Every structure is written in structure tokens, then in C-alpha cells.
Structure 1
Amino acid sequence: MAMLSINDLPEDVLVELLSHVAEYDLIHCCRLVCSLWRDVVDMPTLWKRKCQLEGFSPKGGIRIPDDWKSFYFLFKLRKNLIRNPCAKEGFNSWRIDEDGGDKWAIEELPGGHGQPIPLPDVKKYFVTSFSDCKKSQFIDLKADGYWEELMDEVQPDIVVTDWYAARYDCGCQYEVCVQLLSEDFIVLQEFCPEPVLIDQWSDAKWRQMSHTFRNYGPGVRHIKFQHGGKDRQFWAGWYGVRVTSSSLVIEPPISDGQ
């Protein structure tokens, strides 16, 4: 009786077996075993199965990714690339670009003449003074796991959000600027809207800024996130715009195809 090998298994059984192997071992070990295993590891069916096993489902459960392998890795990497977004670690990870007036400060929510934020885990915010206050972070995509081919060929969505609010008793100004940068820090695309002006005696509610970069072209290697502002009445202290819970997430691209 002839001895059977694992390669004699039906393709769907081999896909199921390999789908339980860690992604690093699939790429760096299993794919190198033989041409059959290489072809199986490259199959969308295998990566779709791994997505199912690890609970990575398309948004709403109905839209289908163009590339299941990229979809899988983008979900594995998915996290907020802004470090210390809610001031838990003071100003760690932030570069202070402008420190006007009485400089940046950190306060506890809801703060004087403030409102609670609809984010239960957020306890603190950064607050600006009576002259320009801006701070920023530079994100190195490769250092965070996003290799060049992934960014250039897949061009996943880059989703940026930020929360800001005013005090009830003082008007303020909110500013944000996000730049997609090349390896040499050349600006390839940016989102730098006009400042948001909030009048005195506003509702002081927290509002979310959101922007998504799509189809931005090849070459993106770094991202610069900068935000801040000031108060509009030139009051000593910290009466300017409040910011917290900044977020920058690389999202898997999803199409509506079946």
C-alpha cells in the first residue's frame, strides 16, 4: 500500500490546515516548502479563512475585500498610531511646536465650564492658552509595521480623528493639520482646513474632527499630525481650545464587489 503524504490531501483540507498556522510561519516557512504550498499560501481562500478564524470581518459583514491577504495583515496591524492621545502620560510622545501664552496644560474632564466627553475611558485633555499653542507627532509607517509595498500598492485608507471643545465662558480657535510625507519628508498630500472659531457662550460640547485619506498615490512613508489653537479673548491662564483622544488608524481597503 502506497504511503500518502500531506500533499495528497484535497486542496480544501490543506487550506484549512495551513490557515491555523501563524502568518509569519506561513510566509517565511510554509511558503518555501514546495510549489504546491507556495500556491496554497498565496491563495485568497486561505487568507479569507484566517480572517474568519481570527474574527476579522468586513465592515457590516457584507462588503468584500479586494485582497484578503492585505486585509488580514492590515487588521493584524490595526491600532491608533497616535501615542498618548489622552494625556495619560503627560506630554510624552508629543513635540511642542508652539507654546504661547501660559503654555500648554493638562486638565481633568470635564474641566471648568466644560462638558463631559462621550468617551467613557477618556479622563484628561490638553488645553491651550491665550496665544498660539500647537503640538505634533511624526509617525514612521515602516517602524509601525507598514511595509512599502503595502502602502504603495494597496493604499489603505488613513483615517484621522480628533476631539475638541471650548469652555462655555470663553471663545477659542481650533486648528489641525495632517500631512502625508515621503521618505525625505516631502509633503505628498495634506489636510489642513481653515481654523474652527468657537464663540463665547457656546454649548461647550465636545466635537469630533474626522478626515479620511484615499487614493493618495505611492511613496507615503511618514505622517505628521499637528493640532492646537488658542483662546480668542486673550485671557491669562488656560481658556483656549481643549483637545483629546486624537486618532490615526490605517484601515483595510474594502470594495462593494461580491
Structure 2
Amino acid sequence: MVFESEGDGIIIEHPPVYCEQTEVPVCFATSYFWCSRYFEIDLEKFGVQNWVMDFIRPEIIVRERCACREDCGAVYELRAQLLEDDEEFDKNAVSSRAERTWDQWEGGKSWDTVELVLRDYPSGMRKLGVLSRGKDTLFWAGNYGSKFGATEVLIKFPDTPTEVRVPLAKVLLRHFRTICCAFEESHPPYCACISLCVFFNGAKSYRCIFDQIVAILLLETKLQ
């Protein structure tokens, strides 16, 4: 997690100052120049395997709560980007961005929920970068800028079965090496050309997918 700040910096408020305190009991508070928090998630380390990102492409949902003080106007931004292994977050990108602005005496009574949904992305995405930032609009010394907290990242798989066709060499050889090696020894021509059809449902576990792959291979092999 990386923090960048100007003015009087970014601080943690527990509870939030001069703002509704029960919805989000702990938050970050910004100052009179931009203050930001950035973090990256290695999706594979958190259980989302590379082949899932390449072929299933679940929706990635980034959700956060934001607010400001009653006595000072403020602005807030949330940005999220899916990145390749060696790709860096682009702070100048205009897509996948949400903003909130409050005038003086307008905020402080409740927290807004801001949400970004990343979908239809290209294959090769391996990391998620999330940037939250804010400041006040009156340039008051101290931490009168926007507040944010309760950040969530959700992985949403399809609600209905989705047909995914991928070459066997790209899935089994990479992700199910043991099974593939066994079949290569007995049916090398078959393993080189077959396509695997997997029906994936959000409620199913990875184990279910694994079992389906084995069942398809066994069935198709018996038919040879």
C-alpha cells in the first residue's frame, strides 16, 4: 500500500471527524491538496488463476464508501485498472474512474457507495490496481478533505453457465500438467488437436471444473 499526499497529509480517523460515524467507523481523511492511497492485488495469489482471467473473465468489482465533513466542500476519486504482470498503473487514464463532489454544508450526513465494474477486458490481466484520492475545495489547513474507507474487491463469476472453448494445449498443458502428461503418452495425436468445452457456473468450485475436465477426457478417449 502506497500513500502520496500534499498539504497536511492523509490521516486515519477513528471515528470520522464532523461526519456520520456509524456507517464507516474508520476512514482515511485527506487535506487541501490531493492525497492518495494506492494498492495492487496479485489476483493469482488471491486464488483467481491465470486461466480464469484469460478465459472466464469474471467481473472485477471495486467498491468503496466516501464522504466529507459538513463544514467544508470536498472532491473524491476512485480509479481501478487491470494490469499485466509488468504493467504500471496509468494515473492519466480517464476510464474506470468514479468521482464525487460536495459543496460546503452539503456533505457529512451519510456515506456514498462508489463502485467500479471491470468487464470485457483482454486476456493477460494479472493484477488489479486501485487508487483512491481526495482533497477539500476551500484550501483549509488540516484534514478537511474527502474521506474514504470500507474498500471491497469482489470477483463475480457468471450467474448462468458460460461456454468456454479453449485449445487443450493452452489449458491442460499449463494448468493440469499431470493429467495431460498421462494422456499424451497414450493418445498424442488426440491431445494435440482436441478442444476442451467447459461449462462454468459462478456457484461451482474449481474442483467441479477439474472434475468436468477429467470426465470429458475419459469419455472422449473411450470413443477413440
Q: TM-score range by the shorter chain?
A: 0.5 to 0.7
Confirm or deny that 1:107 pairs with 2:17: no
Amino acid aligned to 1:102: D
Tell me how far 1:235 sits from its aligned partner.
Answer: 0.6
For residues 74-125 of structure 1, what are the alpha-carbon distances to aligned partners after superposition, in whole Å with 9 as ceiling and x for unaligned?
Answer: xxxxxxxxxxxxxxxxxxxx211x211110111122422x11343xxx4211
Q: Which of 133, 137, 140 is equivalent to 1:235? A: 140
Amino acid aligned to 1:155: R
Answer whether contact 2:67 2:147 (CA < 8 A) is retained. yes
**Could you tell me the TM-score, scaled by structure 1's length?**
0.57
Answer whether contact 2:35 2:134 (CA < 8 A) is retained. yes
For residues 200-256 of structure 1, what are the alpha-carbon distances to aligned partners after superposition, in whole Å with 9 as ceiling and x for unaligned?
Answer: 011422100012222212111001000011011111111000100011111222128
Equivalent residues in 2 for 1:198-209, closer than 5 Å: 198-204=102-108, 205-209=110-114
Which consecutive unaligned segments of at least 5 residues does structure 2 have? Answer: 163-224
Residue 166 of structure 1: aligned partner: 68
Residue 21 of structure 1: aligned partner: none
Confirm or deny that 1:222 pairs with 2:127: yes
Equivalent-residue separation in structure 2 for 1:159 and 1:233 (angstroms): 32
Tell me how far 1:197 sits from its aligned partner.
Answer: 1.8
Give the 3-state SS of the residue equivalent to 2:159 in structure 1: coil
Residue 46 of structure 2: aligned partner: 144
Confirm or deny that 1:123 pairs with 2:25: yes
Amino acid aligned to 2:39: Q
Residue 95 of structure 1: aligned partner: 2
Tell me how far 1:174 sits from its aligned partner.
Answer: 0.3
Identity of aligned residues (%): 32
For residues 104-153 of structure 1, what are the alpha-carbon distances to aligned partners after superposition, in whole Å with 9 as ceiling and x for unaligned?
Answer: 111122422x11343xxx42111001111011001111221221111111
Tell me how far 1:175 sits from its aligned partner.
Answer: 1.0
Equivalent-residue separation in structure 2 for 1:130 and 1:203 (angstroms): 16
Answer whether contact 1:110 1:117 (CA < 8 A) is retained. no
For residues 166-213 of structure 1, what are the alpha-carbon distances to aligned partners after superposition, in whole Å with 9 as ceiling and x for unaligned?
Answer: 1000000101110110122167995124x4221001142210001222
Equivalent-residue separation in structure 2 for 1:192 and 1:213 (angstroms): 11
Structure richer in strand, relative to its length: 2
Answer whether contact 1:162 1:247 (CA < 8 A) is retained. yes
Confirm or deny that 1:252 pairs with 2:154: no
Which consecutive unaligned segments of at least 5 residues does structure 1 have? Answer: 1-93
RMSD over aligned CA atoms reads 2.3
Compared CA separation, residues 186 and 244, structure 1 to 2 (3 A): closer
Equivalent-residue separation in structure 2 for 1:117 and 1:163 (angstroms): 12
Give the 3-state SS of the residue equivalent to 1:180 in structure 2: strand
Compared CA separation, residues 187 and 109, structure 1 to 2 (3 A): closer
Confirm or deny that 1:179 pairs with 2:179: no
Give the 3-state SS of the residue equivalent to 2:46 in structure 1: coil
How many residues in Structure 1 have an aligned counterpart in Structure 2? 159
Amino acid aligned to 2:116: H
- After TM superposition, what 4+ stretches of structure 1 lie above 6 angstroms from structure 2? none
Compared CA separation, residues 187 and 134, structure 1 to 2 (3 A): closer
Answer whether contact 1:179 1:191 (CA < 8 A) is retained. yes
Compared CA separation, residues 117 and 184, structure 1 to 2 (3 A): same
Confirm or deny that 1:197 pairs with 2:101: yes
**Could you tell me the TM-score, scaled by structure 2's length?**
0.65
Equivalent-residue separation in structure 2 for 1:99 and 1:212 (angstroms): 27
